[in-house]
């Protein structure tokens, strides 16, 4: 109507609505996830704008200006280093992952492949009060950005190192943002009883699948989730040596994970590596 004043949303309102859309798209039942996305300014974890936003897998589009409002489209991927394929990834995917591993107040998270720390910050909010996040980032430039941006967040420690070769602290949640053929033994050993590991599983060219691993009294329970495409870990050890690689159907049938030193692969094996193997057998009990 002529004469009416048009309401222009401020950045806090835009970010809160973005958080609502992300949580709805990810079907989050935990309201803390929406609140955490609303609290963390994405622009604080990015280089100065304008930014390169992914329009499709092989195409980026530059924002018209450095207005942070452009960063709060529901599921936009933003380039951090397009030459290396490093991005600030899909918010809906990350909200879904956080829902899957359900970080709780007081828990200890290890974030592998932290990038510039945006999702590290959100994870840190999910474990307050009393929780901690140890974030690993191997790229020096990204680690430097993360170190500065994460300073205001409680209980966060940044480690500039290769997490496939490091000893991880005991963790209730290990949250991995780099593809691996199989989780290193050091990751599995770092899981506390009841601990949850989520990672992008890339055991073969045709498999790119998010998987959760839960440490149970009888072993490691596995649950395949959604497709997930991440760049690989920078370095690989014997864990990447595949003795039996699964196709997409076999990978989705995985229900447990075993250490080859404790139980040799049997007829239920869907993927076999040097130190670990995946089975279609569910854990008893």
With 60 as the cut, is the pLDDT of residue 238 above it?
A: no
> Could you please report the per-residue DSSP string of 134-172?
EEE---HHHHHHHHHHTTTSTTEEEE-S-TTTSPPPPEE
Q: Reduce the DSSP state of residue 124 to 3 states and report it.
A: helix
- pLDDT, tens digit, for every residue of 247-281? 999 999 999 999 999 999 999 999 999 899 999 99
Tell me the helix, strand and coil percentages in the chain, rounded to 5. Answer: 25, 30, 40
Per-residue pLDDT at 2: 53
With 80 as the cut, is the pLDDT of residue 69 above it?
A: yes
Per-residue pLDDT at 237: 45
pLDDT-wise least confident of 31-35, 83-87, 97-101 = 83-87
Share of the chain above pLDDT 70, in %: 95
What tokens appear for 217 in the block?
């009294």
Per-residue pLDDT at 249: 94
With 80 as the cut, is the pLDDT of residue 1 above it?
A: no
- pLDDT, tens digit, for every residue of 132-172? 999 999 999 999 999 999 999 999 999 999 999 999 999 99
Q: Which helix H or strand E contains 220, and what residues bound it?
A: strand 219-227
According to DSSP, the β-strands at 242-244 and 207-216 are unpaired
With 60 as the cut, is the pLDDT of residue 37 above it?
A: yes
State if pTM tops 0.85: yes
What tokens appear for 109 in the block?
């998270």
Q: What is the mean pLDDT of the chain?
A: 92
Q: Where residue 194 falls among pLDDT bands split at 50, 70, 90?
A: very high
pLDDT-wise least confident of 73-77, 93-97, 183-187, 203-207 = 203-207
> Averaged over 171-192, what is the pLDDT?
95
Share of the chain above pLDDT 90, in %: 81
Alpha helices in 139-281, H assignment, sequence order: 140-149, 185-190, 248-252
């Amino acid at each position: 109507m002529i004469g009416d004043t048009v309401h222009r949303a401020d950045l806090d309102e835009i970010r809160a609505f973005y958080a609502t859309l992300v949580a709805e798209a990810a079907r989050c039942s935990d309201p803390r996830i929406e609140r955490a996305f609303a609290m963390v300014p994405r622009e604080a974890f990015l280089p100065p704008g304008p930014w390169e936003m992914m329009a499709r897998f092989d195409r980026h589009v530059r924002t018209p200006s450095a207005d942070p409002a452009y960063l709060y489209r529901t599921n936009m991927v933003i380039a951090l280093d397009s030459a290396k394929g490093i991005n600030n990834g899909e918010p809906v995917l990350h909200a879904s992952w956080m829902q899957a591993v359900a970080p709780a107040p007081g828990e200890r998270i290890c974030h592998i492949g932290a990038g510039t720390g945006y999702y590290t910050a959100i994870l840190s909010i999910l474990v307050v009060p009393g929780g901690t996040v140890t974030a690993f980032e191997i790229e020096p430039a990204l680690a430097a950005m993360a170190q500065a941006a994460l300073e205001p967040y409680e209980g966060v420690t940044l480690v500039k190192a290769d997490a496939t070769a490091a000893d991880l602290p005991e963790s209730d949640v290990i949250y991995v943002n780099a593809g691996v053929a199989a989780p290193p033994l050091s990751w599995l050993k770092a899981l506390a009883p009841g601990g949850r590991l989520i990672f992008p599983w890339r055991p073969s060219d045709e498999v790119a699948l998010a998987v959760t691993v839960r440490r149970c009294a009888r072993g490691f329970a596995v649950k395949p989730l959604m497709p997930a495409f991440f760049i690989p870990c920078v370095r690989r050890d014997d864990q990447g040596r595949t003795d039996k690689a699964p196709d997409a159907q076999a990978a989705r049938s995985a229900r447990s994970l075993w250490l080859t030193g404790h139980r040799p692969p049997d007829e239920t094996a869907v993927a076999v590596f040097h130190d670990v193997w995946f089975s279609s057998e569910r854990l008893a009990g």
